Amino acid sequence: MGSRLPSMLKDAGLTAFVAAALGIFIVGFRTVDIGRGLTFDYQIVDLAVAVVTIFFGRFGLSLAANGLRWPAIVLGVVMIAIGVSPMQLPSGFLHWFVALGGVLLVIRAIWPWANDAMAAAARTPTGRTIDRVASKWFGWALLVAAVLMPFTPMADQKTMDLGVLILTYVMLGWGLNIVVGLAGLLDLGYVAFYAVGAYAYALLSTQHGMGFWVVLPLAGMMAALFGLVLGFPVLRLRGDYLAIVTLGFGEIIRLVLLNWVDLTNGPAGIGSIPGPTLFGAVFAETAPAGKQTVAEMLGIPFNGIHRLIFLYYIILVLALITNLFTQRMRRLPVGRAWEALREDETACRALGINPTNTKLTAFAIGAMFAGFAGSFFAAKQRFISPESFVFIESAIILAIVVLGGMGSQVGVVLAAVLLIGLPEWFRDLGNYRMLAFGLAMVLIMVFRPRGLVAHREPSIRLHPAGSGGGG
């Protein structure tokens, strides 16, 4: 340990320095309005405690990584004791921060032992059976929870709105999973198809009076057409070059929307977009001339949350359609061609599979589902602008796919809940919200570097699971 101690202390010190440099402008001080002008509200002590905690946390992680697990466990226990003790800290959150850091350090120290035990159990016939059954029923449990969520006591307006947002990103993640996870084509401009679907519905509904249910398939087809347009120029590109071109395509679409003022209204966006109707009835307190409200049709008092519940089930059904379609396509020849293309394009070509058609189908189908999601987004928000479709949206959707596990459908759901839900759930933490979010992401990368759900069942089995025999 003596020879490695200086390097571990140096690493911990560097980590603490970076945390202090980044946190000084976020947590260290902020401007507040005192009525007579602006002044600074300093929180240097809070920052100092957080930096010291980060230093010892990083030092403990280095101890665990170098096989010194018991010292790491002892350090973690000490941090837990400090966090739960009556010791006076500048902020109540810091008690949770120190204690949570200790808990995570202990988990990291014992994780190799637990991981080895779970891996050994998974290699047994019983373990493999349990793994398959658990994976199957976990997905069904998520579906049941999603269906029943509006009827739970916690289903208030804020929760329903967050649920709609999460399901929208789940659908986008499943759509991009076709391109990235199954076909292996790195797409950084996926938000462009999202924008095409949104603007297709906004323009057709506001200028031509077309309803949501009529425009929805049209928006998907228009986005699929744009997917084909993108697919042709990138047929010969792979890896980083493909990513650069798709990134440029996404920016081209955004700039067109921004500058084509006669069609898109430019930076001002498009407002007063009609929402989806239920058998012609609108979700509003008062209905336009010639129409009736949903409350009048059903004979119930008006409640604004009814619209959110309706939107929630619409996006839930759209997301399930995306999932079922993807699962079905994986078992067809085109789905197996996608996976073959992902593994080795040269071998794929040698086997007689046409890479051109395979890439185009992946781009088109993935773009189609983004168009559906975009149309729903415009109907929900009732206002869109080019600023809703910036590159960061593509990055978030790609992060959901990668974090969930490439090609994993259940993993996309879990990643969407973490990436979209956690920042909202942590909103009450104020200045510490992004710190908590970043900590959660670091933990995932430490404990699940290949994604939340790294294991995927094969699309095709030569023999039933558990049977012997060669192929």
**Mean pLDDT score, 368-392:** 90
User: C-alpha angle 78/82/88, rounded to 5°?
Assistant: 160
Cα separation, 381 vs 201, in Å, equals 12
Structure tokens at 87: 């010791």
Write down the pLDDT at residue 373.
Answer: 93
Cα separations in angstroms, 275 against 231, 377, 383, 384, 418: 32, 10, 10, 13, 28
pLDDT in tens, 145-178: 888 888 887 778 888 888 899 999 999 999 998 8
Cα separation, 250 vs 189, in Å, equals 4
Residue 275: name the closest of 376, 390, 409, 189 by CA: 376
| 3-class DSSP state of 39 | strand
Q: Where are the domains of the chain?
A: 5-122, 156-447
Cα separation, 199 vs 5, in Å, equals 58
pLDDT in tens, 120-145: 665 677 656 665 666 667 777 888 88
Residue 343: name the closest of 174, 185, 176 by CA: 185
pTM: 0.73
Rounded to the nearest 10 degrees, what angle do helices 305-330 and 125-148 cross at? 150
- φ, ψ of residue 87 to 5 degrees: the values are -55, 135
Cα separations in angstroms, 443 against 55, 71, 220: 16, 20, 37
pLDDT in tens, 226-284: 888 887 777 777 777 778 888 888 888 889 999 988 888 888 888 888 888 787 777 77
Residue 55 has pLDDT above 80, yes or no: yes
pLDDT in tens, 143-152: 888 888 888 8
